[in-house]
């Protein structure tokens, strides 16, 4: 049998508490990678490399701002802008 204080919830301090920094270090780069893939798709499929460059720059800025601040908001904003640029290049441009 294990001791009563050896459960993961007991070790983290508060049961059911999500470690947001750990999640942010996983979620922020994931959104940046998704933005880079959108940029490659916009550039390669529709031959709009200027839009792809904008997507890469916005994604990098969102990644750095998200990691430095510890917040996911810059990544969400960057991802939304990248998705809008992608949709514009595919549907309208």
Is residue 10 domain-resident? no
Half-sphere CA count of 84, side-chain side, radius 13 A: 7
Is residue 13 domain-resident? no
Residue 44 vs residues 23, 33, 48, 72, 86: alpha-carbon distances, Å: 31, 16, 7, 28, 11
Number of structural domains (the chain) is 1
Is residue 4 domain-resident? no
Does position 59 have pLDDT exceeding 70, yes or no?
Answer: yes
Is residue 27 domain-resident? yes
At 4, is the pLDDT very low, low, confident or very high (cuts 50, 70, 90)? low
The more confidently predicted of residues 10 and 45 is 45
What's residue 25's pLDDT?
76
* C-beta of residue 82 within 8 angstroms of C-beta of residue 35: yes
Is residue 2 domain-resident? no
Q: What are phi and psi of 7, to 5 degrees?
A: -75, 155
Identify the domain containing residue 31 by its residue range.
19-92
**Cα–Cα distance for residue pair 9/14, rounded to 1 Å:** 6
**Cα–Cα distance for residue pair 62/33, rounded to 1 Å:** 11
């Amino acid at each position: 049998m294990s001791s009563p204080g050896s459960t993961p919830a007991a070790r983290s301090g508060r049961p059911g508490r999500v470690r947001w920094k750990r999640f942010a270090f996983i979620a922020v780069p994931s959104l940046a990678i998704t933005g880079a893939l959108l940029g490659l798709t916009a550039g390669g499929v529709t031959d709009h490399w200027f839009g792809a460059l904008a997507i890469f720059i916005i994604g990098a800025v969102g990644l750095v701002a998200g990691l430095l601040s510890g917040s996911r908001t810059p990544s969400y904003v960057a991802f939304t802008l990248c998705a809008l640029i992608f949709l514009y290049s595919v549907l309208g441009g």
